[in-house]
Structure formats: C-alpha cells, structure tokens
Amino acid sequence: MFAAHGDPGALPTTDIVEALRSTKGPALGTWQREDLTPRRLAILLSPYNIRSHNIRVPDGTQRKGYQRSEFTAALRRHRPDLSVNPARHDERTA
C-alpha cells in the first residue's frame, strides 16, 4: 500500500481506508468494504500495536495517519519468517 503511494514514511488514514475499500479480492476478509471506516481500521490494527498519529502530509497540513515503520515492526513480530525490505513493504522474499 505504501509503495503504491510513492513509499512515504506515513499515510493518512483516509488514503488507507480508500485503498482498502477499492481492493479487489478477499483482502478485508469478512469485512464489507463499505463498512470499513477510520475507526474500524483502528480497531483492526489495534491488536498489532499499530496506532494512528498526527502526520504531516505533502501539502503541509496535519492529518491522522499511520507510520509505515509500525506496519513493518508488526510484520516482523508476527511473521518473522518473512523478510521485509524497509523501502518496499509490499515485497516479501524467502
């Protein structure tokens, strides 16, 4: 997801929700895409210690969003068998 947005260090919550809602296939499991909200995303990510923060977006404004490093850390904690390249989090190597 971060790679699709130019590999920023953080993404606004609204961008993540939009991307997940437009994802084809079973990415959201039993969640209906139209049911995904910023609050529900926070609930889904909470067990992985991924929390929203105030982030600065390219236009200089401050918004709520998620740090890429928190996703990387959670993946390393919960899936140590996967190698995560910090520059491209969507790539998984054996």
Strand-strand pairing, 83-85 and 88-93: antiparallel
Strand-strand pairing, 53-56 and 10-12: unpaired
Record the pTM.
0.75
pLDDT in tens, 59-89: 999 999 999 999 999 989 988 887 666 554 4
- The rounded distance, in Å, linking the Cα atoms of 27 and 16 is 13
Per-domain residue ranges for the chain? Answer: 3-93
The pLDDT of residue 29 is 58
pLDDT in tens, 18-42: 888 887 766 555 566 668 899 999 9
More confident residue, 50 or 35: 50
Helix (H, G, I), strand (E, B) or coil at 9: coil
Q: Do 62 and 56 touch, CB atoms closer than 8 A? A: yes
The pLDDT of residue 86 is 52
